[in-house]
């Protein structure tokens, strides 16, 4: 199974790939700061995420008898042992 958030990878799927929770929080804080400084919410641009993270749960992969390629492991932001 593949999930889209860090919480999914920690709950046993093999891979999670999605927007970084840190990035979501930072982006939200920037919008709040703009509104508190007087910006009109309707005039703020809509921005998409810029940072994605991939987390691999190698413990689950081993339990399922799956082999994850070394090149994929190197690209992962985090590997859960």
Q: What is the pLDDT of residues 15-74, one digit of tens each?
A: 888 888 888 889 899 999 999 999 999 999 988 888 888 889 888 899 889 999 999 999
Residue 34 corresponds to which tokens in the numbers above?
């703009």
Q: How many domains does the chain have?
A: 1
Does the model's pTM come out above 0.75?
no
Residue 57's domain spans which residues?
Answer: 2-80
Q: Residue 73 contacts by C-beta under 8 Å, 6 or more apart in sequence? A: 56, 58, 79
Give the separation between CA 34 and CA 62, rounded to whole angstroms: 47
Tens of pLDDT, residue by residue over 20-36, are 888 888 989 999 999 99
């Amino acid at each position: 199974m593949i999930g889209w958030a860090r919480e999914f990878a920690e709950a046993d799927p093999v891979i999670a790939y999605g927007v970084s929770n840190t990035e979501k929080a930072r982006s939200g804080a920037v919008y709040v700061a703009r509104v508190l400084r007087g910006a009109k919410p309707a005039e703020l641009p809509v921005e998409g995420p810029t940072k994605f993270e991939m987390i691999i749960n190698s413990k689950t992969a081993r339990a399922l008898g799956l082999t994850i390629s070394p090149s994929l492991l190197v690209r992962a932001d985090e590997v859960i042992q």
